[in-house]
Structure 1
Amino acid sequence: MSNKLLTALFAAGFALLSSTASFAADEKQNLADFHVEMGGCENCHADGEPSADGAYEFEQCQSCHGALSEMDKVHQSHDGKLMCADCHAPHDTNVGDRPECSSCHDDGRTADKINKQ
């Protein structure tokens, strides 16, 4: 084969790999699926089944991510009032998505405003 043909094949292969990697990076991944990759449903649920009140799952969140009282002001203000899944709904939310204050509050709050206080 000629060098030009080899170079063209290499460039085409590289372009294909780059576009595939770019496509994969653009795909959204569900929070639950992301956590399953780290150990299965048991990573968050006792015996792989949801608890009736969500308390076990809340403890699991805190065991990896820390207590709400240790996080930023947005999280601290919800300590004792909400559990992680109240806002982060792991089976309905994608990795990187952030809940908006306006989902529950209609007074113009934003995470930026609260964290600057």
Structure 2
Amino acid sequence: MNKFVTAAAALMFSWAAVAGSVADSHTDMAGCDACHDDGMPSSDLVYENETCVGCHGDLADLTQVHQDHQGMMVCTDCHITHEEGDDASSTCANCH
């Protein structure tokens, strides 16, 4: 099982390295309002995380890597939405 999780994480991070930012892909859909209330970021990112769950589902509904972090983290802990590549490796290093 650990090999599967490691492989999935590696694929996720390698794909993210060639992709633009999460924000770029979401603004194509509805501008800043795709993630932010009235286009403005909230101070605590609660609205933004609820928006992620509203579209993509709860962590329990996603891949095993997400399920393993249910109740411990929120989307924006790993998905650095306005940075190229959405690299979460620095967040992972905080615990692993």
TM-score by length of 1: 0.57
Paired residues in the alignment total 78
Among candidates 32, 44, 54, match of residue 41 of structure 1: 32
- C-alpha separation in 1, matches of 2:72 and 2:24: 27
AA paired with 1:52? S
CA change 1:86–1:99 in 2 (3 A) is: same
Alignment partner of 1:47: what SS? Answer: coil
C-alpha displacement of 1:77: 2.3
- C-alpha separation in 2, matches of 1:81 and 1:93: 25
Runs of 4+ aligned residues of structure 1 deviating over 6 Å after TM superposition are: none
- C-alpha separation in 2, matches of 1:75 and 1:104: 16
Among candidates 84, 88, 94, match of residue 99 of structure 1: 88
Larger radius of gyration: 1
CA change 1:42–1:74 in 2 (3 A) is: same
Q: Say whether the 8 Å CA contact 2:49–2:76 is kept in structure 1.
A: yes
Alignment partner of 2:24: what SS? Answer: helix
- C-alpha separation in 2, matches of 1:99 and 1:63: 21
The structure whose residues are more often helix, as a share, is 2
Alignment partner of 2:43: what SS? Answer: coil
Q: Over aligned residue pairs, what C-alpha RMSD do you find?
A: 2.1
Deviates further, 47-56 or 28-37: 28-37
TM-score by length of 2: 0.68
C-alpha displacement of 1:98: 5.5
Q: What 5-or-longer segments of structure 2 have no aligned partner?
A: 1-17
Matched, 1:51 2:42: yes
